[in-house]
Structure 1
Amino acid sequence: MKKYAVMTLLATALVGCDNASAPLSFSPEMASFSNEFDFDPLRGPVKDFTQTLLNDKGEVSKRVTGTVSTEGCFDTLELHDLEANTGVALVLDANYYLDAETQQRKVKLQGKCQLAELPAAGVTWDTDDNGFVVAAHGKEMEVKYRYDAEGYPLGKTTVSGEQHLSVQATPSKDVRKKLDYTAISLLNDKPLGHVKQSCDYDRHNNPVTCQLLITDDSVKPAVERKYTIKNSIDYY
């Protein structure tokens, strides 16, 4: 749940590995969806998961729930932002994600299960040769995305008019602990905020519990907020 992403496009997660082998890379779908829907990417044979963000009072601020096919496609994805009082539940139907309640087509897909277009917002996504979403285009904005060699999202740059928002993430040098990261947000090259996250991991090198510290540098003095992320993950 990468809360360092001050802006997201959509405001409105595979054979297991043992301790002796190198950790699996992040799939193009997992990495790309985590970028767009603002959650921590997972690796390995994920069947379903829930990520819950708790504030320092232990109250739920945000929850993301997903089910994943054996091919790595998101069959369902449900997002609830309790702080903003927003939410949506998406279900895969052919080459679209439908609103689970209204059955309205929300997101158009390319291939079997990668993001292609958000028709209502006039947004389209571009992928590279490996299937990762590397850019998004809209009428008044453009976004470029970055990944490391394992497919971990390193941030994105959003340009909208005169506004240039850049999110730069630096994961741990320990390849098994990618979700231990620091990140900084810059608005027109001026610091907007930064975060630090540290986690406990399961045998698939996925986070079980994380501590997240967010610092808002846009105000003086800077304001710090502490969160806990709890993950429930089932595997094939």
Structure 2
Amino acid sequence: MMASVTLILAGCDNASTPAAFTPEMASFSSEFDFDPLRGPVKDFSQTLMDAQGKVAKYVTGKMSEEGCFDLLEFHDLENNTGASLVLDANYYVDATSQKKLLQLQGKCQLAALPSTGVTWDTDDNGFVVSAHGKDIRITYHYDSDGYPLGKTTEAKDEHLSVVATPSKDRRKKMDYTAVSMLNDRPVGNATQSCDYDRHDNPINCDLKIVDESVKPPVTRNYTIKNNIEYY
């Protein structure tokens, strides 16, 4: 009898619907280039390492129980760029200078980047669906789970699109392939596969990126290490 009950419960658990991606998590991951996470995330870090084990990028975040980013820090060591954003009322401010960098709409969704004149628009569900400035327009795409499917950027005479195709297994969304096109010409592709935790979030991932903008194409292999704490 106990075995039968166990099987029934296991079957119910396997059939349960995985958590969707929140508008804030999906939108911020699209804008700041990190893998989105599901569920009651308290804080997390994502570290991208090259084939020699050298850190190329890392992202850390702290989130409120409501799902707002209280802190988001990201660094691209390969290109020497990065920022540390702290939530302060209706803005994200620089963690060091306290300068207001990003204006928010609602409690914690992107609204504007005043220094560049860029503003973001959201849909009825709170997802950022477009951004526009003087010489640029970006359109963002998501699936029914809120997973970011890529974006299209139009700037003057350039049209850049990134289209991601996730695994058909809804619990393994971070297993994906992605294709980048510049003015309808392929310039790169990426393939990622991961191990997952009980919240269907990636723990460790292998990422292969092919740069097709050069001849012959260059392939780079990376690993991604995720550390996640939940409420």
Q: TM-score w.r.t. structure 2 length?
A: 0.94
Alignment match of 1:88 (pick from 75, 83, 88): 83
Partner of 1:159: 154
Task: Give the number of the structure whose alpha-carbon radius of gyration is greater.
Answer: 2
Runs of 4+ in 1 over 2 A off after TM superposition: none
Could you give the per-residue CA deviations for residues 143-185 of structure 1, whole angstroms, max 9, x where no partner exists? 0000000000000000001100000000000000000000000
Does residue 110 (structure 1) correspond to residue 135 (structure 2)? The answer is no
Q: How many residues are matched? A: 219
Aligned match of 2:202: 207
Q: For residues 128 and 51 of structure 1, what CA distance do their matches in structure 2 show?
A: 28
Match of 2:7 in 1: none
Ranges in structure 1 where 5+ consecutive residues have no aligned partner: 1-17
Q: Deviations over 1:83-132 (max 9, x none)?
A: 11222111000000000000000000000000000000110000000000
Q: Which shifted more, 86-95 or 168-177?
A: 86-95
How big is the shift at 1:141?
0.5
Could you tell me which amino acid in structure 1 is paired with residue 56 of structure 2?
A: S
Distance 1:178 1:87 in 2: 26
Distance 2:14 2:100 in 1: 42
In 1, Cα distance between equivalents of 2:142 and 2:16: 22
Q: How much has 1:205 moved relative to structure 2? A: 0.1
State how far apart, in whole Å, the 1-side matches of 2:79 and 2:14 are: 40
Q: By how many angstroms is 1:211 displaced?
A: 0.2
SS at match of 1:121: coil
Alignment of 1:4-153 (within 5 A): 19-153=14-148
Identity %: 69
Structure 2 runs not aligned, ≥5 long: 1-12
Q: CA deviation at 1:19?
A: 4.5
Secondary structure, counterpart of 2:120 in structure 1:
strand
RMSD (CA atoms): 0.7
1:221 and 1:177 map into 2 onto residues whose CA distance is: 32
